Amino acid sequence: MHDKEKIAVFIDADNAPAKHIDKILSELARYGVVNIRKAYGNWKSDTLKSWENCLHEYAIQPIQQFDLTKGKNATDMALVIDVMDVIYTKDIDIICLVSSDCDFTPLVTRCLADGKIVIGFGERKAPNAFVNSCSRFLYLDTPSTDQKVKPQNPTIKSQPKISNSKQPVKNIKSDTKLINMLRQAIESVEEDNGWASLGLVGKNISNHASFDQRNYGFKKLSDLFMAIDLFEIKKTNGSGLLVRDKRRQNQKQIAETNH
């Protein structure tokens, strides 16, 4: 992604916490420039006071939507209409949706079909359908307190720092979906000796999954691999990192021994 990618942010204020707006904008600054910033909701409601207090500070345009019918969310409709307008009338590269509402899943797939990158932000209550449909999704309620964790592989001397997330390191190995995804990514780009470039592994994952290691409490992908004893990781001569699946390596050694 280029430094000058143009970004449009659409905030479902009814379903997103205002206290994380700094985190959202700081993350987006890594991708480019936020040209459009809109927040949707009934601004006459006391529940949006936290958002109302930061609108001017962050140059966010409030879009008023009255609660015309109980149980019907006019906010969602207005947001969807504006996103589609932006896709067809503005030169925008990235669509950012701030919400924990699964109703936006079809909108995400539509944006992707138009070649847009979609970055989502929300709380852990966000449905998997919405999370997985985004190009990348970051949880806003992941604690940021760092703690040291001893790496499993002795070839890396430095100790990674990870945040004390809701999913402890000891439970990551039991996350079958995550482990399978990591293994498949390694297998897709590995050399004959089983080692794979960590950079290529990360790129492979990003091409087919809404994944970010920070959602598991890790600052870098290498930190995640180092905390799981199912993988080996080592430095290359060029100071890059290589990763290997221990299970596949053991299977290869057994097959060679039998032959």
> What digits encode the pLDDT tens for the residues 106-123?
999 999 999 999 999 999
- Say yes or no: 121 and 194 in one domain: no
Over residues 64-71, the mean pLDDT reads 66
- Say yes or no: 181 and 201 in one domain: yes
- Say yes or no: 163 and 107 in one domain: no
- Say yes or no: 219 and 116 in one domain: no
Boundaries of domain holding 99 = 5-139
Asked whether the whole model's pTM tops 0.75, one would answer no
Write the CATH number for 39: 3.40.50.1010
- Say yes or no: 9 and 135 in one domain: yes
- Say yes or no: 244 and 135 in one domain: no
**CA 76, CA 73: separation in Å to the nearest integer?**
6
- Say yes or no: 166 and 201 in one domain: yes
- How many domains is the chain built from? 2
On the question of pLDDT at 147 being above 70, the answer is no
Do residues 155 and 235 lie in contact, with contact meaning Cβ atoms separated by under 8 Å?
A: yes
- Say yes or no: 203 and 94 in one domain: no
Return the structure tokens found at 47.
């529940």
How high is the pLDDT of residue 68? 57
Write the CATH number for 235: 3.30.420.610
Do residues 216 and 178 lie in contact, with contact meaning Cβ atoms separated by under 8 Å?
A: yes
- Say yes or no: 75 and 135 in one domain: yes
* Lowest-pLDDT range of 26-35, 73-82, 146-155, 185-194: 146-155
* Lowest-pLDDT range of 125-134, 185-194, 222-231, 244-253: 244-253
How high is the pLDDT of residue 107? 95
**CA 158, CA 151: separation in Å to the nearest integer?**
8
- Say yes or no: 131 and 180 in one domain: no
